[in-house]
Amino acid sequence: MIDHLRRYMPILDWGRTYDRKAFSNDMIAAVIVTIMLIPQSLAYALLAGLPPEAGIYASIAPIILYAIFGTSRALAVGPVAVVSLLTASAVGQVAEQGTAGYAVAALTLAFLSGGFLVLMGVFRLGFFANFLSHPVIAGFITASGILIATSQLKHILGISSHGHTLPEMLGSIFAHLNEVNWITLAIGVSATGFLFWVRGNLRPALRKLGTPPLISDILTKAGPVAAVVATTLSVWLLGLNDRGVKIVGEVPQSLPPLTLPGFTPDLLSALLVPAILISIIGFVESVSVAQTLAAKKRQRIDPDQELIGLGAANLGAAFTGGYPVTGGFARSVVNFDAGAETPAAGAFTAVGLAIAAVALTPLVYFLPNATLAATIIVAVLSLVDLSILQKTWRYSRADFTAVAATIVLTLGLGVEVGVASGVTISVLLHLYKTSRPHVAEVGLVPGTQHFRNILRHKVETDPALVTLRVDESLYFVNARFLEDLVQKRVTNGCGIQNVVLMFSAVNEVDYSALESLEAINHRLKDMGVGLHLSEVKGPVMDRLKRSHFIDDLNGRVFLAQHDAWAALSKQNGQAKAAE
């Protein structure tokens, strides 16, 4: 019973051995992460089109629930940039930003996403996330980073603009350029410049001045807080909000409220597909971060249990005024680097954020939106990495095509179309590649028992015996290819008496391929040519034996290719001698 519980609640595992040292390490990590998260949570809420407190609420219950159900010891769960953008895109289709319906739709999205993740976890379907190839993810993240940064330009410029795709956004920005608020622009540009400088130069500068590493780190992490404080003070002291600078305004002083997602069938069905998409993208991002961090300490994470942990976190967000969350890259790395040992660090962060929600929210009244936009821009531009285009171009045109299509379609048609097309294109390209497998005609390397490609090596051959090595599993997409290939080879050749298919790299033969093999066998029989197999793997042979193919085979099955050569070459020699 306890074992069963422990499988679904890893807290029962690490909780029993929790000690003072782990506690103090976790506490330090929590302080650093909390400082970083306060402005970030407000900013991502803005990106999702929600009131700022939603970002903080989305970081409290979810963190605690993930600490109970998740398997990664360093993952920090909460709002992240890409999921916030996806939320804005999905919720924007069913409700107007700023209305009560918008917030409810965001809760519903978190609820559906949480439910979907838990279901996937219970049925152990984590492998579905693998349909997102690395190049598609990289292309998608890069394009999303560009989209997100562009979407924040309106806050920096102090104008109102719209759009979910790059052309829409840019068009709308150009159309509203006459409305630019120059004070907002000054705040936005200086905050962005300052944050870029902090990110790139502050730490080395402090270290040069002799500041100890830990302090340098904390000061660097606190950069956004400094920008927040400085710009908030400027707005307050100079009364800039009366001169058109948009500010965060009133934020309720409250612990996360109890909230209910919407359960109307219309809303649920409209948000189902986006929720699935958000779940999968969030899961993939989260698992890759968790896996990387776990490996550094020779720990392991369980992807199926991660689904349950992230699902619980999203369900938590749905009932406490949040919106979809996942394990974020930046916050998790900070948590890990700051020395977090167990998920308790997350729980302490949650407490810190709860205190902030109750005590600090009045302080952000005069915080300009431009500063939050600057925080987002600096954070997401680090996600933009166009070098993936160059890397994949060098490695494989198919992968390059998938990346390029994902980037172009995400920018041009929006995040949902982009990622769906990316997945479809990767799958089609893979099927296309396997549809024309490499098949080598092989001969004997003299003096050995090895058989190699006759085009690449000097080998012995026998004109009456053709051996084809099939370098691919045989299934419906390439079954007919093999049929054509064998028939072409036999029709074009002269005096061929035997064909051997060498199956050393055939890992599967599905029913379509079985029928193709039967057709090949049948046709060769009609032509008076023998068909033989060699080096068939155990599992493939087991399966072939379930059909009549082996019984009907107009030839034999040889364990090793050399046995086939010995038997058929000799038989052929005897035939010649008899003539």
- The closest alpha carbon to 162, from 177, 172, 176, belongs to 172
Site string for a second copy, 353-382 (x = CB under 8 A): ------------------------------
User: 170 or 485, CB closer to a second copy?
Assistant: 485
Check if the beta carbon of residue 335 is closer than 8 Å to that of residue 74.
yes
User: 113 or 133, CB closer to a second copy?
Assistant: 133
Token pair for residue 311?
């699902």
Q: How many residues bind a second copy (CB under 8 A)?
A: 74
Q: Which of residues 233-292 bind a second copy (CB under 8 A)?
A: 287, 291-292
Query: Contact with a second copy (CB under 8 A): which of 172, 220, 497, 504?
Result: 504
Distance between CA atoms of residues 172 and 168, nearest Å:
6
DSSP-derived letter for residue 462 is B
Check if the beta carbon of residue 264 is closer than 8 Å to that of residue 111.
no
Task: Write the secondary structure of 146-210 as one string of H (helix), E (strand) and C (coil).
Answer: HHHHHHHHHHHHCCCCCCCCHHHHHHHHHHCHHHCCHHHHHHHHHHHHHHHHHHHHHHHHHHHCC
Check if the beta carbon of residue 108 is closer than 8 Å to that of residue 268.
yes
Check if the beta carbon of residue 454 is closer than 8 Å to that of residue 442.
yes
Output Rg (C-alpha) for the chain, integer angstroms. 31
476 binds a second copy (CB under 8 A): yes
User: Minimal distance in Å, beta carbon 438 to a second copy?
Assistant: 6
User: 122 or 177, CB closer to a second copy?
Assistant: 122
CA distances 285 to 80, 83, 113, Å, are: 10, 10, 15
Site string for a second copy, 117-136 (x = CB under 8 A): ----------x-xxxxxxxx
User: 243 or 394, CB closer to a second copy?
Assistant: 394
User: 25 or 292, CB closer to a second copy?
Assistant: 292
Q: Which of residues 57-96 bind a second copy (CB under 8 A)?
A: none
User: Minimal distance in Å, beta carbon 492 to a second copy?
Assistant: 9
329 binds a second copy (CB under 8 A): no
Long-range CB pairs of 199-204, under 8 A, 24+ apart, other chains included? 199/223, 199/378, 199/382
User: 248 or 419, CB closer to a second copy?
Assistant: 419
Distance between CA atoms of residues 16 and 157, nearest Å:
53
User: 348 or 400, CB closer to a second copy?
Assistant: 400
Query: Contact with a second copy (CB under 8 A): which of 250, 460, 508, 552?
Result: 508
User: Minimal distance in Å, beta carbon 551 to a second copy?
Assistant: 14
Which span (48-56, 369-377, 465-473, 566-574) binds a second copy, by CB under 8 A?
465-473
Query: Contact with a second copy (CB under 8 A): which of 7, 480, 556, 562?
Result: 480
User: 23 or 549, CB closer to a second copy?
Assistant: 549
User: Minimal distance in Å, beta carbon 430 to a second copy?
Assistant: 6
Q: Which of residues 388-407 bind a second copy (CB under 8 A)?
A: 391-392, 394-396, 398-399
User: 329 or 481, CB closer to a second copy?
Assistant: 481
Q: Which of residues 18-37 bind a second copy (CB under 8 A)?
A: none
Element at 441 (helix H, strand E) = strand 439-444
Which span (89-97, 154-162, 358-366, 466-474) binds a second copy, by CB under 8 A?
466-474
Angle at 516 between CA 515 and CA 521, to 5 degrees: 95
Q: Which of residues 419-448 bind a second copy (CB under 8 A)?
A: 426-427, 430-438
Task: Write the secondary structure of 299-314 as one string of H (helix), E (strand) and C (coil).
Answer: CCCCHHHHHHHHHHHH
Distance between CA atoms of residues 351 and 29, nearest Å:
13
Q: Alpha helices of 70-133 — where are they, by DSSP H? A: 81-92, 100-122
User: 127 or 197, CB closer to a second copy?
Assistant: 127
Site string for a second copy, 294-313 (x = CB under 8 A): -xx-xxx--x----------
Query: Contact with a second copy (CB under 8 A): which of 478, 521, 534, 554?
Result: 478
User: 168 or 304, CB closer to a second copy?
Assistant: 304
User: Minimal distance in Å, beta carbon 296 to a second copy?
Assistant: 6
User: Minimal distance in Å, beta carbon 394 to a second copy?
Assistant: 6
Token pair for residue 76?
């920090």
Check if the beta carbon of residue 565 is closer than 8 Å to that of residue 451.
yes
User: Minimal distance in Å, beta carbon 138 to a second copy?
Assistant: 9
Distance between CA atoms of residues 364 and 375, nearest Å:
15
Question: What is the pairing mode between strands 439-444 and 498-502?
Answer: unpaired
Q: Which of residues 141-180 bind a second copy (CB under 8 A)?
A: none
Terminal Cα-to-Cα distance of the chain (whole angstroms): 78
14 binds a second copy (CB under 8 A): no
Q: Which of residues 534-553 bind a second copy (CB under 8 A)?
A: 537-539, 543, 546-547
Distance between CA atoms of residues 34 and 32, nearest Å:
6
Which span (1-9, 346-354, 503-511, 566-574) binds a second copy, by CB under 8 A?
503-511
Place of tokens 């052929």: 572
User: 249 or 539, CB closer to a second copy?
Assistant: 539
User: 386 or 427, CB closer to a second copy?
Assistant: 427
